[in-house]
Structures are given as structure tokens and as C-alpha cells.
Structure 1
Amino acid sequence: MSLTLYTNPMSRGRMVRWALEEIGQPYEAEIIHYGPPMKTPAYLAINPMGKVPALRHGDVIITETPAIIAYLADTFPAARLAPPPGSPLRGSYYRWLFFGAGPFETAVLNHNLGVIIPPERAGMAGYGSFEAVMNVTEAAVSKSPYILGEEFSAADIYLGAQIGFGLRFDSIAKRPAFEAYWDRLKHRPACLRAAGIDDKLLATHP
């Protein structure tokens, strides 16, 4: 079955392209511009939210970046992007993949939008505080080369790409542990290929 990525070079679609490069399967990419092109009936039939990325795999359509990455990891197990079912690492894999999609992403977004959560209502935020999320993340990426230990996984793609983005655009502090972790990830051949493709596309699809 064919793989088609609907993306924009300045979007979370960069994470999905990285995952696609990691699995090593042929795929096509359709660039969707922001604004009206994302709201056409044709594209809304693919993603009713009118946003990118989205992935079509044969007749299957997947939206939401962590869901797409998890789908690719499970659908193409030869790439070893996820611990197999039954592995004791499976729980940690899910934990950190969705930690990146939940507490980390929400805390960083709120922090950079200037959203202030009163301490007495921190429990309602779901992540506590920005500082707590950063501390937990720092501890997690400091213990071993990758989030699950010695083995790279799709959880590193999602959480790592967000850390790399945060370091590049100063949306998170440049803690040494974050920089060391991202340095290990950004030199992976698949990451370099994906970044090269999207960076080149920025020149023609700004």
C-alpha cells in the first residue's frame, strides 16, 4: 500500500517525515499551504481539522502527529521504532511518546503564550507547572542515550524533535542535557535527510 504524507515544511509534518525516513519505505509528500488550501473540501475530507500533517496509507487515513508516528512504528516493525508488544519497555515507550504530546507540548505552548497558571490551580492544568515539566524531561533524557535506554524509538522522534525546535527558537531553556540529547538525535541519517528535504522546500513553499 502506498504512503502519502500531507504536510508543510514549517509544521509538525517534519516529525512525520523523519519517521518516514527512519522506516525506509517509499512515500509521496503533498505540500499543503496554510490558509484556504487547508480548508478545501478535498483536504477536509482527509483531515476535518484542516491542518497538517496527515498520512494516507492505502485506504487508511491517520491524523495527529503522535498517532501517525505510533502507527508507522507499529505498521513497519522491521524499523524497530517501537518495543514489540509484550516487551517490558512498551509501557515506557507509550509513556514518553504521549508525555511529549501532552504535558510537554502543552506546557511549552502555554509558557510561550504567556499563560499563567495560578499555583493553587496548577492541578487543573494537567501538567502542574512549566518548570516541573522541564525538570522531568531533563531527568528523562539524562539517564541514557535515548528515552528508553540504549535503543532509539519513535518516542525520541516526537519528544526529541520538540526539544530541538525549542532549542532552536528559544522556547525552552538551553539546558546542557537537552542540548546533548538533541545532538545525539539530529545527526541520525534519517533525521538529516528529512531536515534537508523540508529545508529545501522552505525556499519554494515559504
Structure 2
Amino acid sequence: MTINLWHCHNSRSLRVLWALEEMQLDYQVHSLPFPPRFKDESFLEVNSLGTIPFLKDNNCELTESTAMLLYLAEKYQVNKLRLTINDSEYGDFLNWLFQSDATFTFPLTLVLRYSQFESIERQQPQVVEDYSIWFMARLKRLNEHLLTHKYLCGDKFTIADIAVGYSLYLGKMLGLDQYFKPQTAKYLTRLMARPAFIKANSIGKNIANYEISEISDD
């Protein structure tokens, strides 16, 4: 059975599309307008949470983008994009993978909500400023690491780079890349130049409802 992915342009489902392209797996993408639970209510019959991304592979259903990356790499044994428990950097691999959402993307969702999603009277400039600073502060270890590494772990491009790369891309979409350290900006540019990223980033663009406000998960 073909892997099915429900996707909104520039949302966290970009991580999964990017990974699928890098892995060269067969998949079917269902591109939706953002936010899907309001713009396409039939999606609630597929995913009762109404969130994007949503991945279905046979009887397996996933709602978390980083879990999807690890699932695909493990299930389909895509060794070039993963590290195994026997690798000395396996702990770092997992840490970068999960840090991408828990530490990097979390503050950006607040910046996005209170600068773009909320009505004018509910926007919160102080929240936007505070969590923009929060995000930049959380890049400290990444900035240090990229001074001596081309990729995050294992001396190769992995799904950890996809996960963290999307977080940096979201920061770029929010204009925070002007504060990126040179090595971090170069790292993101290198990731965005990959053919798989370019192809994945074009999918669903024609039905996007917003320019900036489509970026985060619903």
C-alpha cells in the first residue's frame, strides 16, 4: 500500500515530504488549504484532530512530523538518512531530532500566532519579541556545533538535519534569519539547495491560502 501524507504548504508536513523525496519512497500526497479543519472539514473524517501533517501507512497512523521521520527511516531501513543504536552519535541523533520541535519550533509557533494568526486586537507584540529572543537563545548549541560540522551527526545528512532544517526555515519565513550566525545561515542555505527540499517545497503551493500564516502546524 502506498504511503499517504496529508499536507499544507510550508507547514511541518514539509519535513515529511522532504524525507520522502530523499528516501525515494512511493507516496501519495493530499494537499489541503490551511487551516484544514476549517477549509476542508472532510479532513476531520481522516484525522479527528484536524492537524497537519497526518501520515497513514497501512494500519499505522501518525500525527507528529518528527515521529514520521523516524518511523519512515526505521520502517524502510533507509540507512543513509539515519543512525542506529550502535552508532556512537546515536544519542546526539535522537536529541537533535526531538529538539527540533520541543525546543526550536515551539517558540516559533507563538511568534507566528501572535504576529499573524490572531486578529489585530489580539496580537501580542511583547509575546512575539519574547519568544523570538527565546528561539535565538535556543540556537546557541547549534551555532557552536556548526562551526566544526557540516551536518548534525554521523558526518552525513540525516533526518535530524531535515527536522532541524525545517525549524530554521520557519525562522527564516518569520524574518528571524537576519539574526542567524553565519555558519547557521550557510547550513540552512545548503539544506534548501538540496533537490529533494526544492521539490517538496513546491508541492501544494498552488492551493495555499496564506503567505506567512500557512507556515505552522494547525
Paired residue for 2:189?
Answer: 183
Counterpart residue identity of residue 202, structure 1 = K
Counterpart residue identity of residue 65, structure 2 = T
Structure 1 window deviating more from structure 2 (73-82 vs 151-160): it is 73-82
Matched, 1:115 2:109: no
Is contact 1:22-1:79 (8 Å) kept?
no
Tell me how far apart the structure 2 counterparts of residues 116 and 20 of structure 1 sit (CA, whole Å): 33
Paired residue for 1:60?
Answer: 60
| Counterpart pick for 1:195 among 177, 195, 201 | 201
Is contact 1:145-1:184 (8 Å) kept?
no
Tell me how far apart the structure 1 counterparts of residues 11 and 101 of structure 2 sit (CA, whole Å): 15
Is contact 1:23-1:79 (8 Å) kept?
no
Tell me how far apart the structure 2 counterparts of residues 4 and 38 of structure 1 sit (CA, whole Å): 17
Structure 1 window deviating more from structure 2 (72-81 vs 144-153): it is 72-81
Tell me how far apart the structure 2 counterparts of residues 11 and 48 of structure 1 sit (CA, whole Å): 18
Alignment TM-score, normalising by the size of structure 2: 0.77
Q: Structure 1 segments of 4 or more deviating over 6 A? A: none
Q: State the shift of 1:46 in Å.
A: 3.7
Paired residue for 2:38?
Answer: 36
Q: Secondary structure at the match of 1:10?
A: coil
- 1:35-184 alignment, distance < 5 Å: 35-37=37-39, 39-40=41-42, 43-110=43-110, 113=114, 114-115=126-127, 129-172=134-177, 173-184=179-190
Alignment TM-score, normalising by the size of structure 1: 0.81
Q: State the shift of 1:37 in Å.
A: 4.5
Tell me how far apart the structure 1 counterparts of residues 5 and 22 of structure 2 sit (CA, whole Å): 14
Determine which structure has greater relative contact order: mean sequence separation of CA pairs < 8 Å that are 6+ residues apart, divided by chain length: 2
Aligned residues: 193
Structure 1, residues 135-174: CA drift from partner, whole Å, max 9, x if none? 2221133321101152111010010121123124313423
Is contact 1:16-1:65 (8 Å) kept?
yes
Structure 1, residues 6-31: CA drift from partner, whole Å, max 9, x if none? 11113111111001101101100112
Structure 1 window deviating more from structure 2 (93-102 vs 142-151): it is 142-151
- The CA RMSD over aligned residues, in Å, is 2.6
- Structure 1 residues 115 and 21, CA gap change in structure 2 (3 angstroms): same
Q: Secondary structure at the match of 1:98?
A: helix
- Structure 1 residues 10 and 116, CA gap change in structure 2 (3 angstroms): closer
- Structure 1: give runs of 5+ residues left out of the alignment: 119-124
Counterpart residue identity of residue 182, structure 2 = P
- Structure 2: give runs of 5+ residues left out of the alignment: 115-125, 210-218
- Structure 1 residues 158 and 38, CA gap change in structure 2 (3 angstroms): farther
Is contact 2:111-2:127 (8 Å) kept?
yes
Q: Secondary structure at the match of 2:78?
A: helix
- Structure 1 residues 117 and 171, CA gap change in structure 2 (3 angstroms): closer
